[in-house]
Structure 1
């Protein structure tokens, strides 16, 4: 919709009791999940008992904008219409609005309706920003989501945001973004009369362009890990095919060290992936320019609730699995997480999205992450270890391992044992292969899979899996025997086949052979039971 201010005089002058009505329309955007629906801020000034009313399904922090806007306008030495009746409507009325993002458009609407800003000049602009009492502009959540939405609008609009948020929104290549540090910057830019602002006022809104970013993201190097050849191999397979992993071993065996270096085995992020990750972080209020283009590694504590892990709240916010989109979700002390939180991971591991439904609204967040879980084999941690004798009873071990349900473990592709490293190897072993060397092999295997089927092996379903596998006779026979002996479910069988296809890609083999299937079978292990 167009922005405008309209002055309607109904006969005579105000001194003769005639009513003067002023109306202004300013465009902004709300934030609902990852979407940024358009909001029209309508400001109506009229004669009558002085008041300031705000309507339009506004949350508490939006209703508090009345006091922030009033103080900001006065402290900026602008005219606030104290003697007028002010009504602000945030349309559409049935769309929930939250946060302080509407402070700036409300202030612009009041200034436009009172003639201090040229309404014709704000046409084609969208405003968002929180005002301090001194009229400084504070950053908002979801600036990237706003930029993406404004670019898809017809015709595209220009964004006016606080400077910090403008730098974030400018990462969208096609966005037209202007930054302002103070309310006077905005007034200077859209002033109704030249010379209305004092000569020492700020210079106005400035066009913001993307800041230069680092050429390549850096991660901890896998070469720091000594020993653990089997676990390193499993991580290489996981990175090549986007598979999930659970690492099982005694305390101090290097599980966390391996998981923290996994992101360095993944391919560099392209622009679209970087924008998606940055938009999610922006919606969650955790965006940082330093992390631009870097695959996230989220490491929530095991006391995290289900809502913290998968998202939720009112209004819904992204959880850890969404903040790990296109990156790594590392869950240390895996069985110690609340059972409800772990079971909530089932659907996202399959679909790559999470839907959060509430009575008033439904939001969907992307959640295509790679799960790296780490756990001890028993409560004391030393079951089957040569470091120390296990002090746990069979019942304690069963209860501990029983915290992880069969359906959840079924969805994890690689079950890897990480034994303790011998002191001799720890002190004298040579430096291991670097992440760059392993990443090169993973990238080559990914490219083979994409050239063959257009997607990673983890995403293969149904007929696609049958066509891509190309199992030879010996591999088929071995798989049937293993599935029957180990009593695999259909999902476990398919997961093992996907892992075998990734192993074949790493070996540059057009067919999936018995050796590839045999290695994949080794990664569908069950947890060690107590003696």
Structure 2
């Protein structure tokens, strides 16, 4: 009996699968056991054709493959190459213990690329489970970004056999590829960013308070809600926020690339954070993930390390808004089904945009609001206090004026965000400000005497909850970072309090 390793998905995490084989005397047969999907059982024909079309002998024996552990459901075509090699190397004395083998076989014996290999192998690498892998040659460019794994690329079945027969004669096909973007290094960690701004804040005229709040939200990754009349620029600001977000570490870029693959896109390996904008009619399953048999990732999980934007916020269902409280607080989403229980990381910057009333004219100086007090109250009540307590910044947008002028460009704002990021990292802070733990708040959010006095008065006057107090401290820390101030001063606390929803 011989064994090589492969892998399959459980949620978005990879699970190691041991591919075991036996070739025994008996009536010729080919069996695959271990909860294999249709794509795996169909591999019997691909393996047979690949062997016979390359002058290999298909043994007239009873061939059985076990995909262990048996209770784990397996899917994907990446098991083809491992099964073909186990048949060919059955009588060869070679050590296959450390090898992971991935690849789909063509009928002519060619080893084909599978776009799902990248997130699968990245997940194994993040868990420290893989060090050496045989992969399709076409996949090497993408896989080269994954650190600490030796990849051996093969174009066909013959090359794969030669490598495993004569392992000492072959070197890995590639070395680790670098991420080619502007970067800087702090405390042995490199951070990458982009200087292209497809949508620019220079296009947003006026709205200085909203742009200032957007800058603070970007620098600290703080949740924010924009409230204003239709057409005042809420969506414009939200769509431009992604271009001024903090730089990304290499691990964050690799994770973002994995999420791109999971939603069917080619991985870009760029430090541009994702933005997800589900419609208010979207179902719970599409937003949070789910499914009757297999818990698939939803928009909340795909927004990890990026932006989750809810336009027309009060029109989302009550269940969606209340379910959003957990990932906003904990940075993860848990999905429980009969057949699976999955946990996805969900550390995102939440942006909400809403009108002040159902007709949208409540704050408009030139149009009359058509809503009754009861309708306005019902509209406001769609957002519960526990949900709003998780919002760091709340901004009421100004009326649009013909004399409004442009001020800051995205390039200037992004420069301020990058400088604030460097300032925070140099004091030893690991998390972005919005994600600081209680211990980090105590360590890094140091207030001077005046700031402490102002915060105490605000707590007494506005009856702030413990969560609200911490959020004020975090926002004030970001404002201080933008000014490169180690101490949080009175003006920083006052500005942070001014963004609290009351």
Per the TM alignment, residue 352 of structure 1 is displaced from its structure 2 partner at its CA by: 1.8
Residues 163, 380 of structure 1: alpha-carbon distance in 2 compared, 3 angstrom cutoff: farther
Q: Secondary structure at the match of 1:99?
A: coil
Per the alignment, residue 467 of structure 2 pairs with: 491
Q: Secondary structure at the match of 2:342?
A: strand
Per the alignment, residue 440 of structure 1 pairs with: 415
Residues 397, 153 of structure 1: alpha-carbon distance in 2 compared, 3 angstrom cutoff: closer
| Contact 1:170–1:176 (8 Å) recurs in 2 | no
For residues 301 and 183 of structure 1, the distance between their equivalents in structure 2, rounded to whole angstroms, comes to 47
Residues 150, 407 of structure 1: alpha-carbon distance in 2 compared, 3 angstrom cutoff: closer
Alpha-carbon displacement from aligned partner over 1:275-302 (angstroms, at most 9, x marks no partner) = 23223444x2545343433222222333
| Contact 1:24–1:119 (8 Å) recurs in 2 | no
1:334 aligns with 2:316: no
Residues 151, 342 of structure 1: alpha-carbon distance in 2 compared, 3 angstrom cutoff: closer
| Contact 2:260–2:267 (8 Å) recurs in 1 | no
Per the TM alignment, residue 244 of structure 1 is displaced from its structure 2 partner at its CA by: 1.0
2:326 to 328, 343, 347: 347
Per the TM alignment, residue 257 of structure 1 is displaced from its structure 2 partner at its CA by: 1.7
The aligned runs of 1:278-317 (5 Å cut-off) are 278-282=257-261, 284-286=262-264, 288-313=266-291, 314-317=293-296
Aligned residue pairs total 483
TM-score by length of 2: 0.84
Per the alignment, residue 364 of structure 2 pairs with: 385
2:152 to 178, 185, 190: 178
Q: Secondary structure at the match of 2:19?
A: strand
2:83 to 84, 87, 106: 106
Unaligned 5+ residue runs, structure 1? Answer: 1-22, 193-203, 527-531
Per the alignment, residue 495 of structure 2 pairs with: 519
Per the alignment, residue 318 of structure 1 pairs with: 297
The aligned runs of 1:64-103 (5 Å cut-off) are 64-74=42-52, 78-81=56-59, 83-103=60-80
Per the alignment, residue 274 of structure 1 pairs with: 253
Per the TM alignment, residue 87 of structure 1 is displaced from its structure 2 partner at its CA by: 1.4
Per the alignment, residue 33 of structure 2 pairs with: 55
Per the TM alignment, residue 387 of structure 1 is displaced from its structure 2 partner at its CA by: 5.0
Per the TM alignment, residue 134 of structure 1 is displaced from its structure 2 partner at its CA by: 5.7
Per the alignment, residue 199 of structure 1 pairs with: none
Per the TM alignment, residue 410 of structure 1 is displaced from its structure 2 partner at its CA by: 0.8
For residues 106 and 482 of structure 2, the distance between their equivalents in structure 1, rounded to whole angstroms, comes to 56
For residues 165 and 405 of structure 1, the distance between their equivalents in structure 2, rounded to whole angstroms, comes to 48
Q: Secondary structure at the match of 1:326?
A: coil
| Contact 2:131–2:148 (8 Å) recurs in 1 | no
Per the alignment, residue 185 of structure 2 pairs with: none
Per the alignment, residue 433 of structure 2 pairs with: 457
Per the alignment, residue 476 of structure 2 pairs with: 500
Q: Secondary structure at the match of 1:364?
A: strand
For residues 270 and 221 of structure 2, the distance between their equivalents in structure 1, rounded to whole angstroms, comes to 21
For residues 289 and 457 of structure 1, the distance between their equivalents in structure 2, rounded to whole angstroms, comes to 28
Alpha-carbon displacement from aligned partner over 1:384-443 (angstroms, at most 9, x marks no partner) = 123533233333333333222221111010011223422343xxx3x4322232223223
For residues 251 and 151 of structure 1, the distance between their equivalents in structure 2, rounded to whole angstroms, comes to 45
Per the alignment, residue 4 of structure 1 pairs with: none
Per the TM alignment, residue 96 of structure 1 is displaced from its structure 2 partner at its CA by: 2.6
Per the TM alignment, residue 245 of structure 1 is displaced from its structure 2 partner at its CA by: 0.8
Per the TM alignment, residue 27 of structure 1 is displaced from its structure 2 partner at its CA by: 1.8
Residues 317, 160 of structure 1: alpha-carbon distance in 2 compared, 3 angstrom cutoff: farther
For residues 123 and 384 of structure 1, the distance between their equivalents in structure 2, rounded to whole angstroms, comes to 69
Q: Secondary structure at the match of 1:416?
A: strand
TM-score by length of 1: 0.80
Per the alignment, residue 31 of structure 1 pairs with: 9
Per the TM alignment, residue 243 of structure 1 is displaced from its structure 2 partner at its CA by: 0.9
| Contact 2:216–2:478 (8 Å) recurs in 1 | yes
Q: Secondary structure at the match of 1:491?
A: helix
Alpha-carbon displacement from aligned partner over 1:19-55 (angstroms, at most 9, x marks no partner) = xxxx432221222244433221112223333332211
Per the TM alignment, residue 175 of structure 1 is displaced from its structure 2 partner at its CA by: 1.7
Alpha-carbon displacement from aligned partner over 1:469-509 (angstroms, at most 9, x marks no partner) = 44345444443443344343222232122212322332333
Per the TM alignment, residue 231 of structure 1 is displaced from its structure 2 partner at its CA by: 1.0
Per the TM alignment, residue 104 of structure 1 is displaced from its structure 2 partner at its CA by: 2.4
For residues 236 and 119 of structure 1, the distance between their equivalents in structure 2, rounded to whole angstroms, comes to 63
